[in-house]
Amino acid sequence: MKFPSIFNKINPQSIQQHPEKNELNWMLELNQWKAERILTGEIHRPECRNEAAKRINCAFLSKQNNIDLSGLNLTTQPPGLQNFTSINLDENQLKHFDATTYDRLINLSLNSNALESINFPQGRNVSITHISMNNNSLRNIDIDRLSSITYFSAAHNQLEFVQLECCERLQYLNLSHNQLTDIVAGNKDELLLLDLSHNKLTSLHNTLFPNLNTLLINNNLLSEIKIFFSNFCNIQTLNAANNQLEKINLHFLTYLSSIKSLRLDNNKITRIDT
């Protein structure tokens, strides 16, 4: 995508035309950031920072809410992103991301980076609803304060523990392909899909998911399923294959009135209790 040369340099007068976004220091920071050439991974591709700066300037001056900076090989976080409600930074090389002051943020996509840490927006007015950060190197995350979140996906990371008790609006949660040994989710009345497959879970807490439609807990170390039977009333897909299950309770099976797909293969089931 090519933009006119007017976006190569920031005109200070344009700042005055947008008093409602008067964080004008970020424009100067963006110019400085664009001029840097010494960071590992970008020294051979300086045009990537130029392209990112052009896109940010263009989107800001045209009053767009979305910014797409995917696939630019960026290793550091560009200034000015606090002006947007939707940010796409997929397929870069970011190791750290700080969105603490991004009060306007609603959608954040950081798939396929090298993320080791991330700070989410904080405060009473946080409105973020969608976060996707698959294929990174995260070992821990804290989204427990994001009460507005409805979609969260952090598959293919190195997460060992996640706490989500305060995320009461969650509808979609994908934490598959991690190193989870425990998860504290709390009651989730609106949760529709829960994917915890390909982890190291040995048990699940007794929490309530009354509207759960899809539960994927395959490829773990589960020896039994203890979560409340009432969680299964609306389940259509339940995959518990490739675990360590040794017995099945028929009372549990009676709650699967809506089931369309049930997998229990590759377990160690030797007993069925009535």
Residue identified by tokens 């392209």 is 51
Angle formed at CA 132 by CA 123 and CA 137, multiple of 5 degrees? 100
Mean per-residue pLDDT pooled into runs of 10, the chain (274 residues): 35 40 70 70 70 91 94 93 96 96 95 96 83 97 89 98 88 98 88 97 84 96 81 90 88 83 92 74
Prediction pTM value: 0.86
Cα–Cα distance for residue pair 199/162, rounded to 1 Å: 12
State the pLDDT at residue 3.
33
SS3 130: strand
In the chain, domain spans? 66-273
Cα–Cα distance for residue pair 177/194, rounded to 1 Å: 13
Residue 231 token pair: 């969680």
Closest CA to 26 of 81, 108, 77: 81
State the pLDDT at residue 230.
74
Cα–Cα distance for residue pair 173/195, rounded to 1 Å: 6
State the pLDDT at residue 124.
67
SS3 239: strand
State the pLDDT at residue 253.
77
DSSP state of 116: S
Question: SS3 breakdown of the chain: % helix, strand, coil, rounded to 5?
Answer: 20, 20, 65
Cα–Cα distance for residue pair 201/102, rounded to 1 Å: 34
Residue 210, Cβ neighbours under 10 Å: how many?
15
State the pLDDT at residue 37.
58
Answer positive or negative: Cα dihedral of 145, 146, 152, 154.
negative
Alpha carbon 65 to its chain centroid, in Å, reads 20
Cα–Cα distance for residue pair 182/205, rounded to 1 Å: 9
Pick the CATH number of 66-273 from 3.30.565.10, 3.50.50.60, 3.90.1150.10, 3.80.10.10: 3.80.10.10
State the pLDDT at residue 47.
82
Closest CA to 214 of 229, 195, 240: 195
